[in-house]
Amino acid sequence: MTKTLAFVLYPGITPLDLVGPLQVLSALAQIDTSFEVVVVGQDLTPQDTDTPLKLTPSHTFRQVTVPFALIVPGGTEPTFAAMADEPLLSWIRKAAQTAEVVGSVCTGSLILGAAGLLDGRQATTHWGFRDLLAKFGATPVAERWVQDGPVLTAAGVSAGIDMALHLVERLAGEQTARTVQLFIEYDPQPPLGGIDWQSADLDFFKPHARAMLESALADHPALLTRLTA
């Protein structure tokens, strides 16, 4: 039986949130044909991202109703607006009822939270917005990815690649995950070295985060109050 791995596309996402893990899981599907990878959206219209690149779904929500796994990418202001997108939230809630994996990358976890899927669970997201997870009943965790039951959340942007490799190992074993990593030559060696997390100034970032929330949710005061109170 084919296991469908569905990536959710909505306007304004950060492309790497989707494309990074999409490439990993597409490699899995090439190795193991019991998996298929799709990108689902409200319709097949090309969607804006937070770069000049547009992305187009391969399937609509109506065409994919019971995925084996779903993964929700994140972004900035458009993602906050998506927290109030009821057709999107409705599809996620329904798909999550039977999915064995309910995943997110970066602030995509806030959409899972808005859909009511994080209550009582550990979760992570981009460091600048991690505190918002508690507003949805989740326990924020500062990890590259977090597994809590069927829910698998990744931290910011590039963490989605790590999460996807973890998922490949879980679904198909260590050797397959190592093969996928080799296929895509994922061997991070940033020219400036690793991140100095002690230098991340959350207090400086908070006003910018609040401004994005206020802009995105101006027409949804109840949700805005929940996230900023």
- How far is it, in rounded angstroms, from Cα 172 to Cα 155? 23
Cα angle value 84/212/38 (rounded, 5°): 50
> Hey, which residues are catalytic here?
106
CA dihedral 147, 112, 103, 162 (to 10 degrees): -70
Residue among 35, 20, 18 nearest 170 (CA): 35
* 3-class secondary-structure state, position 163: helix
Instruction: Give the single-character DSSP code of 62.
Output: T
Instruction: Give the single-character DSSP code of 75.
Output: B
- How far is it, in rounded angstroms, from Cα 103 to Cα 71? 4
Contacts of 209 (CB under 8 A, 6+ apart): 128, 129
CB 151 within 8 A of CB 112: yes
